[in-house]
Structure 1
Amino acid sequence: MSDLVESVEQPKSISTLPQWHAFMKPLLQVLSDGNTWSKKSLEQATLDQAGITAAGRVEMLPSGQYRALNRIGWATSALSQAQALSKPARAVMQITETGRNLLAQSPDGFGVRELEKIPAYQAYVPQRGKMRGEASAPAVSISSIDEDPTELIEAGVQAFAAEAAVDLIRRLREQHPDFFEQAVVDVLNMMGYGGTEQRGRRLGGSGDGGVDGVIDQDALGLSQIYVQAKRYGDGNTVQRPEIQGFVGALAGKGASQGVFVTTSLFSKGARDYVEQIPNRVVLIDGPRLAELMIRYRVGVQIKRTYEVVEVDEDYFE
């Protein structure tokens, strides 16, 4: 596997947080004081009870949700299905006798198997199947899934994105250099650097003065960003001399800022160099370019959309 593909497919750091069902016990332990708890207070107290570190509390899902709070949410949902907790008011929770029994019977902790022994939860599963018109087939319960459903969805989306990213770089390398230069300008336009009029354009040609595109940041072109686009093959890393040449081209244009984009990677020397110069030069390598193309919908399209619904509490008030 090439360095670029490995970089594109680099897995995210593995979370050290407990799985969602491991939050059920500390959640009930907090509620065991018999008081009613607001959702926000219960979440924070559960994090404390579970001993979640400061770093663990700020782990984020790609959607922007806090991973720990998302898992507590699924634990709350499962306990509610089993009637181990009640919701006497909106966003307010309280332990039930079923919840107390669950804690007493499983002092060392419990998981999905113990939850599925509770009659209320056993009754809940076939009801879901009937609602879906699947009385003859077992319904899949959230509690029967070991992973957090939200994280499974997002992991699937990330897997599709990673596959698309590798394919994007491959396709860009197969195209004519002119096509690649225009694709880079298209990305910068979609990012908003050329304003609503998308004032970015490809220059190209032998008389381009060492730059491939320019972005006018205002209608009069008083502020400009110059672009260099290098369609490098697999294993060809952009070195410091190429960046120095681009910086020289910027000086020839009287410009102080530029973007150097490649389908490959940048050497350490190249990256160190841009940190030392007064010019503002941004380096975008293949993995970053693919990420931006996906985010701003350049060269990709939405294949399928899934909708996740929940009860609208406002409707029932």
Structure 2
Amino acid sequence: MIPDYQSIMLPLLKKISDGKVFKYRELIEVLSKDYNLTEQEQKELLPSGQQPIFDNRVGWANTYMKKAGLIKSEKRGHLQITDLGKKVLSDNPKEINNQFLKQFATFNDFTKVKKNGTTKSKEIKEIIEEEQTPEEMIEYANQKLTNDLSQELIETIKICSPRFFENLVIDLLLAMGYGGSRADAGKAIGKSNDGGIDGIIKEDKLGLDIIYVQAKRWDRTVPTREIRDFAGALLAKKAKKGIFISTSDFPKSAIEFVSQIEPKLILIDGHRLGQLMIEFNVGVSTQRTYSVKRIDSDYFEE
């Protein structure tokens, strides 16, 4: 199990207790072994997919202890314990966490709200006392907002007309880079009705390959027979690729079926459909944007 960032503080400080300069990357590897993290746990990423969770938590443990004056970094990517850090360890603390760090003025200065700031001290206190890192809190909150929006999108689609859903599918495929021109794509869906195939769309702007499409609104789980029928239609057309899009979900049997057949058949359920609409800005608008920035170490390298 991946430890929270506050649990990492004391073990991290102990690892550098001899006063030598340690490489930050090597410390992460050593700590991951101490915690007996599996390879999968070491590679588990934040929702953004930009950084491993464990790396992020070690980073925040380092940052908070550095702000408290227990750790210093005189060279990029390297850590060293301070005299204050040695003193803290000499007292043999049972744990080091954010509450423990509040005894140090520099840490309190770091968490203090400036007079012209807009964040309330209560909000800062809640963030500091959380087990998740600030970065995790932002990413998981964003993930929840995205999941809620995805569900709302699907519920909205279900009350729209079939023709609207067909146009929505066209818009999404275009946004994803399929279909060539809007005129070509507009001919794709809802026109064929040929052996279980709703439409045909170009895979690229030149039309070097085509994709057969089935787009259906469902309130319940899509029957596996529908997937089999669509796969049969693909075989009859000697098609290599197909997409089955639904507002509902697919049973395990359908997922196993498409993994075993020769035509490449992609199943897009309601959740995935909503996620794709959000990712490619179809049916949604940006209300607010937050930019998370960090120091550019390369800029300060002499």
Describe how 1:82-161 pairs up with structure 2 within 5 A.
82-126=68-112, 129-130=114-115, 132=117, 140=124, 143-161=128-146
The 3-state SS of whatever aligns with 1:200 is helix
> Which residue of the other structure, out of 269, 281, 285, is the alignment partner of 2:265?
281
Residue number in structure 1 paired with 2:63: 77
Deviation at 1:99, TM superposition (A): 0.8
1:20-74 deviations in whole A, cap 9, x for unaligned?
1111111111111211112212322333344434332111111221000100111
Describe how 1:11-22 pairs up with structure 2 within 5 A.
16-22=1-7
The 3-state SS of whatever aligns with 2:30 is helix
What CA distance in whole angstroms lies between the structure 2 residues aligned with 1:68 and 1:268?
32
Residue number in structure 2 paired with 1:35: 20
Amino acid at match of 1:112: N
> Which residue of the other structure, out of 168, 174, 189, is the alignment partner of 1:189?
174
What CA distance in whole angstroms lies between the structure 2 residues aligned with 1:113 and 1:78?
11
Amino acid at match of 2:14: Q
Describe how 1:49-64 pairs up with structure 2 within 5 A.
49-64=34-49
Residue number in structure 2 paired with 1:12: none
1:104-161 deviations in whole A, cap 9, x for unaligned?
22343222222111243245444x5357389x96783664443211110011101111
Checking the alignment, whether the CA contact within 8 Å between 2:179 and 2:203 is kept in structure 1 is: yes
Checking the alignment, whether the CA contact within 8 Å between 1:34 and 1:94 is kept in structure 2 is: yes
What CA distance in whole angstroms lies between the structure 2 residues aligned with 1:159 and 1:275?
30
What CA distance in whole angstroms lies between the structure 2 residues aligned with 1:110 and 1:97?
16
Provide the aligned length of Structure 1 versus Structure 2: 298
What CA distance in whole angstroms lies between the structure 2 residues aligned with 1:133 and 1:200?
48
The 3-state SS of whatever aligns with 1:299 is coil
What CA distance in whole angstroms lies between the structure 1 residues aligned with 2:116 and 2:86?
30
> Which residue of the other structure, out of 203, 218, 241, is the alignment partner of 2:225?
241
TM-score for both structures, normalised by structure 2: 0.86
Amino acid at match of 2:240: S
Describe how 1:244-263 pairs up with structure 2 within 5 A.
244-263=228-247
CA RMSD of aligned residues (A): 2.8
Question: Can you give the 5+ residue segments of structure 1 that lack an aligned partner in the other structure?
Answer: 1-15
Question: Can you give the 5+ residue segments of structure 2 that lack an aligned partner in the other structure?
Answer: none
TM-score for both structures, normalised by structure 1: 0.82
Residue number in structure 2 paired with 1:313: 297
Describe how 1:155-304 pairs up with structure 2 within 5 A.
155-194=140-179, 200-201=185-186, 202-205=188-191, 208=194, 210-218=196-204, 221-233=207-219, 236-304=220-288
